Structure 1
Amino acid sequence: MIFLIGDSTVKNGRGKGDGGQWGWGSFFQQFFDTTRISVENHALGGRSSRTFFTEDLWNKVLPGIRKGDYLFIQFGHNDGGPLNTGRARASLNGTGDESQVVIMERNGGPEEVFTFGHYLRIYIRQAKAVGAIPVVLSPTPGNRWTNGKMNRMTETYTKWAKEVARQEGVEFIDLNDRTADKCDAMGEEKGKQLFVDSVHTTYDGAIINGQSVIEGLQSLNGFSLNQYILK
């Protein structure tokens, strides 16, 4: 079994293409021999590495994960912004062990907020504890361009996700760079057509992100999941 956790770029809304917006996880099963392995997409729009955990979404996924299953982890798009006001979903920058106690606007109570890397480590370590195989992904690229080239997240969430994966000894796929390369190759005008807005993809954009994930997997020599990818 393959489990996916993440934000709206993995599963948008109910995963039915509302508003023409799709996450790549809605089509991920089409790349695999589904008579041998299946995909469960537990991503939820608007969630960050922090709120997927604090809203108990992870605690609903973890009990279903078994030894030998795969867990794909992709966060970052919603990890910025305010810590304790409004949607209050931000994590602290980086991968360190620092934390900050904030008073939450919504209920007046305290919450200890940790780094982006800290929350990724929770998912990785708890999945490994039951014998599952985590795979960390960078965020997908957004529909933002500079001089005809798509902007990357090389110094923020991509970098931090890669650092955590290396520290924890799990595989990492740079989905940000792989899809941005594809968009650069087709040009800004065509690349922008893969998006509904600054972040969310059309059907075609979601398929391209899925292809980038598969290409990332295929670049991992001897990775056990690859035996299930359709040729």
Structure 2
Amino acid sequence: MKYLLKTSAFVLIAALVACAAKKPLQKPTLFLIGDSTVKNGRDNGANGQWGWGHFLPEFFDLGKINVENHALGGTSTRTFRSKGLWDSVLVKLKAGDYVMMQFGHNDSSPLDDTARARGTIKGNADDSKEIYNPILKKQERVYSYGWYIRQFIREAKAKGATVIVCSLIPRSSWNYANKVNRSEYVEWARAAAIQENAFYINLNKLIADEYDKLGQQKVDALYLVKDHTHTTEAGAKFNAQKVAEGIKSTKGLSLAKYLK
């Protein structure tokens, strides 16, 4: 009887081990967060506008990694949090995942206007200001652009995720030398990433350097809609390619192993 019980127990344990061995490993997920230049509107090309996040999955082996684009047009680092969008990502985030962010275009907006109240304080310091938010109809403490970036990094890393900060894509804004103007938000994004030991891709430079070679007329015709910020399908695909190149060339970034 004892022999039979021991044998049955052994068989049961062996079966459980076999089932566990057959269970497929859970794929990591790359979560994208940002504004309309990452995902525009309903992500269906309305008004000819696309974000680079729509096309980025084409550069990955989707058999090995998931890519989820949680960006939303019109958001800043501040409102991506206050609208609950970051919480919806954070609750899904697990160890081994990746978070890639690109913000800045909307952070330069006013802090407390009646249209959107989405702006942040310029810089990467710990500055803050108490304001009355006319949209939410309540008091709100607003922080710097860099402060919000650093909160994203800290909270994602606390869940065991790897974080990549991208500087914002350039607008079609040109100086007297016919070169694309580089945004002040580039340095603040870089500084916040360094401060929190996150990976950083200077997407602004990668794209702007190519724009400089093409010139404003070709850039506007090929890659941008008339507002000089939002990208066409060709522009979004071009930007996605630059993101992939940035991933591949970033030393120590394990996300590169999932690229095709």
Same fold? TM cut 0.5: yes
- Structure 1 residue runs of 4 or more that deviate by more than 3 Å after TM superposition: none
Alignment of 1:86-165 (within 5 A): 86-147=115-176, 148-153=178-183, 156-165=184-193
CA distance in 1, matches of 2:232, 2:180: 17
Task: Give the structure 2 partner of residue 188 of structure 1.
Answer: 216
Secondary structure at the residue paired with 1:166?
A: helix
CA distance in 2, matches of 1:108, 1:128: 33
Task: Give the structure 2 partner of residue 222 of structure 1.
Answer: 252
Write the deviation string for residues 117-160 of structure 1: whole angstroms up to 9, x where unpaired: 1111111111000100000000010011123211111xx21100
Secondary structure at the residue paired with 1:110?
A: strand
Secondary structure at the residue paired with 1:150?
A: coil
Highest Rg: 1 or 2?
A: 2
Are residue 26 (structure 1) and residue 54 (structure 2) matched?
yes
CA distance in 1, matches of 2:237, 2:171: 15
Tell me: higher relative CO, structure 1 or 2? Use CA pairs within 8 A at least 6 residues apart: 1
Secondary structure at the residue paired with 1:50?
A: helix
Gaps of at least 5 residues in structure 2 are 1-28
Gaps of at least 5 residues in structure 1 are none
Select the structure that is richer in helix: 2
Write the deviation string for residues 70-115 of structure 1: whole angstroms up to 9, x where unpaired: 1001100000121111211000011111110001223542100000
RMSD: 1.0
CA distance in 1, matches of 2:126, 2:247: 29
CA distance in 1, matches of 2:83, 2:219: 34
Percent identity of equivalent pairs = 47
Q: 1:37 aligns with which of 49, 57, 65?
A: 65
